[in-house]
Amino acid sequence: MPMYEYRCEECGAKYEQLRRMSEADVNLECPVCGSQNVRRQVSACAIGGSSSSSWSSGGGCAPRGGFS
């Protein structure tokens, strides 16, 4: 599972979560204030990659080992 970064639009808190790709944007909730006004940030692996177009298609960000 890839690690995603999220930022709460209400209180500005940032946090990371391991989520399935298909669930990256569902049931988001800030762990600090409980708001559901949370945005997913572009992850580090996407920045290191080519363009944002590959990110939106959901490819090019598979974890290589280390996660278990």
Positions in the binding site for Zn ion (CB under 5 A): 8, 10-11, 13, 30, 32-33, 35
Residue among 11 and 47 whose Cβ is closer to Zn ion: 11
- Minimum distance from CB of 12 to Zn ion (Å)? 7
Residue among 8 and 28 whose Cβ is closer to Zn ion: 8
- Minimum distance from CB of 61 to Zn ion (Å)? 25
Give the contacts of 6 (CB within 8 A, at least 6 positions apart). 14, 15, 16, 17, 28, 30, 38, 39, 40, 41
φ, ψ dihedrals at 6, nearest 5°: -130, 150
